[in-house]
Structure 1
């Protein structure tokens, strides 16, 4: 229950998910944690039902906007008086980009895919991520099927705080850095999928203004303001639709959940 809660809120009701013992943190809401565990047990152990219960709760549906009185009383939001602003995980960012471009392969099961080239496979293999082809359709499947090399991390995913596969990680880091901005703007995967995103909206809207609005709606789920639409249309006309799509995929509204 604590790990599922952590997944949805960014932190668990117990902030030490790997330690419920004497050295671990005390739960912020012990009655709620007990109730969730009891309800999960009595309802047949359905994780789907648990997820539905949490995401339809008033606590989850709060906005992440802060206010001075709340910050004064509970600066860490341990009492859950607002939603926590959270970034998408590296895998979710990747899958969301593929979904926007229309290239996400939803095929379930089967062997995983590799986003690296193996050099010297007969002895001391080197996993070269920079040699992978971003146009390889086999790599457009969901990130859950990605073949993970425990001894060598994927640079782009690592820059987005993907967990080190050689370590047990109870809670991922959530950072903001210039490296992340550069990776999201210039990585071959992002450039390739931005081009496919542009091709998609070109086929779904007849002119530049309509294509800009369609791309914006796909990325954020709502129409742009009049001012934003004017600026983005001018940018697309000056720099091309693929670059406009790349900008949209780099905005905070696309990367952050709340």
Structure 2
């Protein structure tokens, strides 16, 4: 189902009660880290067994749990009441200490800051940038990044702006061109990860 606008359908059902189109929605809490891992090329699609290896009565928090920042899908991660995975907290994961029949879906500044500063986003951006930097030319690098993050090819205008950004960053770096190429594509990737097109499903 598409979110495409239809004038006649909108006139008959402006509130979409008859579901003539798909309602635009933000990625759910579990989908955000999984999407980052997929785009970065590091997700582990395999099924997981019990990840909890602590002794009975041992205190557990997200700070001492190595699996939170691994490559496993979020569905296999443990839910710790005293320390919910910070990625899930940022994107409206339910309170695990109480019964919650419905989640809210918010859009706020802390989520934008998360996408700008969190290690998980930086790791995905770096991994993607290293692969993109190996492309034969800047246009192909830009297209690879768009396909991995937004699941579509970049338009001519988008490619032009991406290439101009990379060329400017590398020209400014002087002798560190190879290293700067990866840094430039990392910064560019992180911008796309922060975009509405990545965060919302149409």
Q: TM-score, normalised by structure 2?
A: 0.79
1:152 aligns to what? 83
1:221 aligns to what? 151
Cα–Cα, structure 1 residues 76 and 175, in superposed 2: closer, same or farther, change >3 Å? farther
Match of 1:251 among 179, 195, 199: 195
Q: Write the distance in 1 (CA, Å) between the matches of 2:52 and 2:187.
A: 28
1:206 aligns to what? 136
Write the deviation string for residues 46-72 of structure 1: whole angstroms up to 9, x where unpaired: xxxxxxxxxxxxxxx2x3245677566
- Contact map agreement 2:112 2:194 (CA 8 A) in 1: yes
| Unpaired segments ≥5 residues, structure 2 | 170-182
- Contact map agreement 2:60 2:80 (CA 8 A) in 1: no
1:23 aligns to what? none
* Higher alpha-carbon Rg: 1
- Contact map agreement 1:102 1:200 (CA 8 A) in 2: no
Give the superposition deviation at 1:228: 1.1
2:178 aligns to what? none
Match of 1:168 among 75, 89, 99: 99
Q: Write the distance in 2 (CA, Å) between the matches of 1:142 and 1:73.
A: 41
Q: What is the number of equivalent residue pairs in this alignment?
A: 188
| Unpaired segments ≥5 residues, structure 1 | 1-60
1:192 aligns to what? 123
* Cα RMSD (Å): 2.9
Q: Write the distance in 2 (CA, Å) between the matches of 1:248 and 1:188.
A: 16
SS in 1 for 2:61: strand
Match of 2:186 among 233, 242, 245: 242
Q: Write the distance in 2 (CA, Å) between the matches of 1:155 and 1:94.
A: 11
Q: Write the distance in 2 (CA, Å) between the matches of 1:137 and 1:182.
A: 19
2:18 aligns to what? 79
